[in-house]
Amino acid sequence: MMCGLLECEICGIAMKVYLETLGCQMNRLDSELITGQLLGAGYEIVDAIDTADVFLINTCSVREQAENKVYSRLGREAISPRQRIIGVLGCMAQRCGAKLLRRYPCVDIICGPGQLHSLGEMIAQAAAGNKSVACDPDRKDGREAFERNSSIDSLDHDRDTKVGSSAQAYVRVMRGCDKFCTYCIVPFVRGPEISRSPEAICEEVKQLAGAGRSEITLIGQTVNSYRYTAGDMSTRLSDLLERLAVIDGVRRLRFVTSYPTDFGDDILKAMRDLPNVCRYIHCPPQSGSDRVLRAMNRKYTRAEYDNFVDRAYEIMPDVSLVGDFIVGFPGEEESDHQASAELIRRSRFKNSFIFKYSTREGTVGAKTLEDSIPFEVKRQRNNELLAVQAEVSLAHFQSFIGREVELLVEGPSPLSGKPGNVSDDPNCVQMLGRTTGDHITVFQGPESLAGQYVKARVTSTTAFTLFADLVD
């Protein structure tokens, strides 16, 4: 990486960088990689914005609300008396480009997700008084332009595995998306679907596991569509899981997010047969109605989604399924909405993420569909699906009462030490861990268990949290 100007010209002290992250796992991983890159180049990363010379915000464009957060953040920074270098990174930088510089003259750096390897250099340029914009090619320029002009995995490749303090680590197996759901901005901001080579992924996982990162989550927008072809050799996600599961130190393997039509039995069987692959599938249906699925350009029917759910439970009766839904999609009628509620019940999801439809400029939906559902109806349907899901979640969580579970301990729970959560034993606090199915579980235990795997027996539950006692 090119060496930048790292120090304040006047006092000679390393420049302090504050990095804020919005959006999905892709952004969280990118932020971890940037942190490693900047630390390696001599910048200091700080936890408090007040002390920072550089403010970076890694942004998300998936819904209007996500972008509004960034506008209000930049608005505040624009009137701050403190002169900082300001960088907008990620999906919104890609979507808005140089327009953001015109709207917010306080911004110095615009850096799209495939250009983050240049960030150190861009900060150095900004310190010298030059603004810079680095975006990925337009999708219309084709896949080759992406492969030539954006870094597919150079940041991942040079990863500092010691950055990131927890036992958990994300690993990118693919970039971009080729599905073009009519509501979604991701294919435009993250570019075409490109899978990384299994060799590069295995090497990265070996390094991470060697550094104590024992729970690996493979990420991709449609992670189960992973396919890498070299000559006449093709590697699917199930093949990759087999190769990664045998790496020393990999105690748990997860993958998110899946697309329903690409969920073959080969993946389900690999999950069943490989003991360290987690019993967890996040595979969003988006809607339970064929009419809406068609308008969304989701490439499956309701019956096909039901078939995926049936196969998943048949092959792994103890799997936890997780869904995403969009409520208030243009033209969604009450009967369509009820079909989504019924899908939640039938699929027995562990939990679901429910979003109100938000028009995204540049998508097919924005050009051809009128955002016809009033906000109040969206809000009501959102609440209704949440209520149905809460009932279904409670039944799912109750099935764990009395069972022994393995937990990866994250640390003290956010409620630890609060009234009702004070332990009788002075050496114990309320700790939080997760099961293989990603159930949040709390128990009384010493803080020293953070990062370790423990066995616990479930004693009670709510719709969101298991309560357990440590098993000796």
Measuring CA to CA, which residue among 75, 32, 7 is closest to residue 86?
Answer: 75
- Residue tagged 């003991």 (tokens): 275
Q: Which of 137, 187, 323, 330 binds ligand SF4 (CB under 6 A)?
A: 187
Site string for ligand SF4, 385-404 (x = CB under 6 A): --------------------
Nearer to ligand SAH, 286 or 389 (CB): 286
Position closest to ligand F3S via CB: 23
Tokens for 42, please give them.
């001599």
Amino acid sitting at position 33: L
Query: Is residue 63 part of the contact set for ligand SF4 (CB under 6 A)?
Result: no
Torsion of the alpha carbons at 184, 189, 194 and 196, rounded to the nearest 10: -120
Nearer to ligand SF4, 187 or 445 (CB): 187
What one-character-per-residue DSSP string does 166-195 give?
A: SSEEEEE-EE------TT--HHHHS-S-EE
CB of 184 to ligand SF4, least distance (A): 3
Q: Which does 357 bind (CB under 5 to 8 A by kind): ligand SAH, ligand F3S, ligand SF4, none?
A: ligand SAH
Q: Which does 180 bind (CB under 5 to 8 A by kind): ligand SAH, ligand F3S, ligand SF4, none?
A: ligand SF4
- Residue tagged 């027996």 (tokens): 457
Ordered alpha helix ranges (H), 90-182: 91-96, 99-103, 119-127, 143-149, 154-157
Q: Which of 180, 313, 453, 467 binds ligand SF4 (CB under 6 A)?
A: 180
Site string for ligand F3S, 46-85 (x = CB under 6 A): --------------xxx-----------------------
Q: Which does 360 bind (CB under 5 to 8 A by kind): ligand SAH, ligand F3S, ligand SF4, none?
A: ligand SAH
398 Cα distance to chain centroid: 27
Residue 454: CB partners within 8 Å, gap ≥ 6? 406, 407, 409, 433, 445, 470, 471
Query: Is residue 24 part of the contact set for ligand F3S (CB under 6 A)?
Result: yes
Query: Is residue 181 part of the contact set for ligand SF4 (CB under 6 A)?
Result: yes
CB of 354 to ligand F3S, least distance (A): 15
Measuring CA to CA, which residue among 25, 362, 358, 354 is closest to residue 221?
Answer: 25
Measuring CA to CA, which residue among 294, 316, 311 is closest to residue 436?
Answer: 316
Binding segment for ligand SF4 (CB under 6 A), chosen from 29-37, 184-192, 401-409, 417-425, is 184-192
Query: Is residue 177 part of the contact set for ligand SF4 (CB under 6 A)?
Result: yes
Do 428 and 417 meet the contact criterion of CB atoms below 8 Å apart?
A: no
Nearer to ligand SF4, 259 or 400 (CB): 259
CB of 222 to ligand SF4, least distance (A): 5
- Residues that bind ligand SF4 (rule: CB under 6 A) add up to a total of 10
Nearer to ligand SAH, 355 or 400 (CB): 355
Alpha carbons 179 and 200: distance in angstroms, whole number: 25
Do 227 and 196 meet the contact criterion of CB atoms below 8 Å apart?
A: no
3-state secondary structure at position 287: coil
Residues that bind ligand SAH (CB under 6 A): 62-63, 183-184, 186, 221-222, 257, 259, 284, 286, 324, 326, 355, 357-358, 360
* Long-range contacts at 74-81 (CB < 8 A, ≥ 24 apart): 74/100, 74/104, 74/106, 74/107, 75/104, 77/104, 77/106, 78/104, 78/105, 78/106
Strand bridging mode 233-236 / 227-230: antiparallel
Site string for ligand SF4, 255-294 (x = CB under 6 A): ----x-----------------------------------
CB of 282 to ligand SF4, least distance (A): 11
Nearer to ligand F3S, 132 or 222 (CB): 222
Amino acid sitting at position 100: L
Residues that bind ligand F3S (CB under 6 A): 23-24, 26-27, 60-62, 90-91, 185-186, 189-190
Residues that bind ligand SF4 (CB under 6 A): 177, 179-181, 184, 186-187, 221-222, 259
